[in-house]
Amino acid sequence: MSNASRNALMKESEFSRIAKALADPRRFEILKVIIDAGEISCGEVAARFPVSQSTISHHLRLLTEAGLVRVRREGQFGYFSPKPATFEKYIEALGSNLRERVPM
């Protein structure tokens, strides 16, 4: 697949941002919790991990910026849910990228 075709799937900067977000083991675990829950508050996520609320908030912000989760605000609370369309685009772009480089 050409660069133009790959760019139609996902911009390189978007691809890299998602890869970086998924590379952190704690952040990946947080993402799995969100996926399993469907929707979950920041406080509920924080209760599941032995780190500070601010650390959880940082991870959630990076997941949100990467487009992997969306946040729904209700008053002062944020509720996080997965964005499956982003996963699909990322997986498709990853497969395309690897097929171009790895002999099969």
Q: What is the pLDDT of residues 3-58, one digit of tens each?
A: 444 445 678 899 999 999 999 999 999 999 999 999 999 999 999 999 999 999 99
Predicted structure pTM score: 0.85
Burial of residue 3 (number of CB atoms within 10 Å: 0-12, 13-18, 19+) = exposed
Q: Residue length, the chain?
A: 104
Helix, strand, coil share of the chain (percent; to 5)? 65, 15, 20
Contact 42, 53 (CB under 8 A): yes
CATH of 10-94, picked from 3.20.20.10, 3.90.1640.10, 2.60.40.10, 1.10.10.10, is 1.10.10.10
Q: What is the pLDDT of residues 48-100, one digit of tens each?
A: 999 999 999 999 999 999 999 999 999 999 999 999 999 999 999 998 888 87
